[in-house]
Amino acid sequence: MMQDMSERSRCPIEDFARMIGSLISVCPAVLYGLLYTKRFEREKFLALQSHPEDYKAQMSIPRYLKDDFDWWIKVFSDTRQHNLIRSNVYACEIFSDASLTGWGASSAFYALKCFASTLRDCNILLRLDNTTALAYINKFGSDSSSGMEYPFPGSSEVIRQAFGAQTVPSAALEVMIASLAPSTIKQYTRPLRTWWTFCQTHGISPYAPDIARVLEFLSQELRHSNSYSTLNTARSAISLISSTEIGNHPLVKRFCKGASYLKPPKPRYDFIWDPAPVIANLATMFPYTSISLPAITKKLVLLLALESGQRAQTLAYIKISQLSFSRDKLLIRIPDRIKTSGPGRAQPVLSFSRFLHRPELCIITLLEHYLDLTKELRPANCDSLFLSYVKPHKSVEVQTISR
């Protein structure tokens, strides 16, 4: 039974509860058996909270329970495993007064350390007036959970915790985090925060959600958003941190397909503009000695974008250390990870020739003037090409380049 259940990712709550009942029944013969039923009980509780009293409903079996399954499988395959039968012969008897501050279990623990630190393989009788402490000791702790809500720790930490819950070793954790671009983690911040709040409100785990709760959340997002892309981002974010591939679940895929019909994705740009008037206007900004820094900056961004055809992200990642000037040529290397980066793909190298017959449209001439103009304004150790033309003249991000 345990082997079969450990290999499943979903099962009816009824089957999971039956498994727990079978384990509880053998606990008197299994040393520390009750201790290894706590997390099973917790998952059953969360499943029933999502489906009140519906034992026929399906529940997810999170991967972090693998350690508990393996422990029980090992116990049942070990013929030497046994639990000592309690007798009425006690090597030590410890008395404790009632504690009104909830310190009963702690006082029992310290009493054992003080008076029974040398005892082994024997029975000790604890006489406590605190019934709560008795329950905690006899039942290896409590299955009660705190009602407090935990604040959203940030998208990076949520993703890190999700990978950790899927038994990813710490040595591989940072490597897996590195597979996600910083822009992707930033994009997932809003949907993960909303999902975290939703899970806190409904008392469910954000890492092992039930499919019904996921559909409920996506329906909520669809009502509040005006685009399909927002919904798709939320689906991808939840799928990333869930213990199962929730984004590929047939019901989730069917829901998203319906959402794409109700709110079809729209292209970011629905028209093509003629660059000729822009180029003609840029040509009038010459010579550069009388042109302001804001105008020079905007002209350089526009000429680089028009001649290279690169995204604003690529332009924002241009570094001075990656500029290679020759007599009549300029090479700009982009070593940073961008949206089009991937295994086996070469990083972009932008190549520009000196435009001798039209110096007013020559990128090399303009770039040399821009570097000379910003030399005194550039902060120490600032390698980014583009600076803000207002104080304190720091390097600019992609959004500023886009504007």
Mean pLDDT of the chain: 83
Residue 319: pLDDT band by 50, 70, 90 thresholds?
Answer: very high
List where CATH 1.10.150.130 sits in the chain: 181-262
Question: How large is the average pLDDT for residues 319-323?
Answer: 91
Ranges of beta strands (E only) in 87-152 are 92-96, 124-128
187 pLDDT band, cuts 50/70/90, is: very high
pTM for this entry: 0.50
Q: Pick the more confident residue, 339 or 196.
A: 196
| 255 token code pair | 């829901």
- Measure the CA angle with vertex 183, ends 163 and 238; round to 5°: 40
* Fold (CATH) for 181-262: DNA polymerase; domain 1 (1.10.150)
* Owner of token pair 């949907």: 191
- Residue 236: pLDDT band (50, 70, 90) is very high
For range 62-83, the mean pLDDT? 83
Looking at residue 402, what is its pLDDT?
Answer: 84
* Average confidence (pLDDT) over 243-263: 89
Q: pLDDT higher for 240 or 57? A: 240
Give pLDDT, residue 146.
46
The DSSP bridge pattern shows strands 92-96 and 124-128 to be parallel
Residues 6+ apart with CB under 8 A from 303: 282, 361, 363, 366
Task: Give the other-Cβ count within 10 Å of 68's Cβ.
Answer: 19
Domain covering 275-402, topology: hpI Integrase; Chain A (1.10.443)
Phi-psi region of 69 (alpha: psi -120 to 50; beta: other; left: phi over 0): alpha
Structure token pair of residue 30:
């299994």
Cα–Cα distance for residue pair 113/119, rounded to 1 Å: 10
The residue-averaged pLDDT of 135-157 equals: 63
Q: Which amino acid is at 334?
A: I
Q: Where in the chain do CATH 1.10.443.10 domains reside?
A: 275-402
